[in-house]
Amino acid sequence: MARTRDVMNRRQLIVGLGLAPFAGLLLPDPAGAADAPLKLRTLYNKDRSFSDLAHSLEGTRVSVGGYMAPPLKADSQFFVLTKIPMAVCPFCETEAEWPRDILAIYTKRIVDVVAFNSKIVTRGVLELGTFKDPETGFVSRARLVDAVYERS
């Protein structure tokens, strides 16, 4: 709430000084900054525990950038988002092996596969905690659900 009040005061100052046409050059847009996709590494601490940021965003709709690993099976509503392009899926059998640089993505529709080296942005509700997909057996520690994605 304090942040909104501060933004309003800065905007009022800019308008009051007659600088509104130059506002984008003077101050970054805080709302635009919030829309920037998260990096996978920001969700985890070095010890593989979830970061404070991840905990604060749990249950909210977020954007995360990365690369689509090849799906585990055809006609799936699930894929793995990776930090770097991977030609094969980084399938994990246990949560203990869960890398810090991947995120399970559960989509609203059947996945249209994107080339493994094309950057994408996913948007979905962040869920934390161990989950074993009953259909694939894939174990995830963090995932986006009700997700959509697009090339960036």
- At 91-149, the pLDDT tens digits run 544 454 556 678 999 998 999 999 989 999 999 999 999 999 888 788 889 999 999 99
Q: Are 86 and 118 in contact (CB under 8 A)?
A: no
C-alpha 98/C-alpha 141 separation (Å) is 7
C-alpha 23/C-alpha 15 separation (Å) is 9
C-alpha 147/C-alpha 112 separation (Å) is 13
Question: 53: which 2 tokens?
Answer: 């940021």
In this structure, which amino acid lies at residue 141? R
Most confident of 53-62, 72-81, 138-147: 53-62
Number of H helices and E strands in the chain, helices first, is 4, 5
pTM over 0.85: no
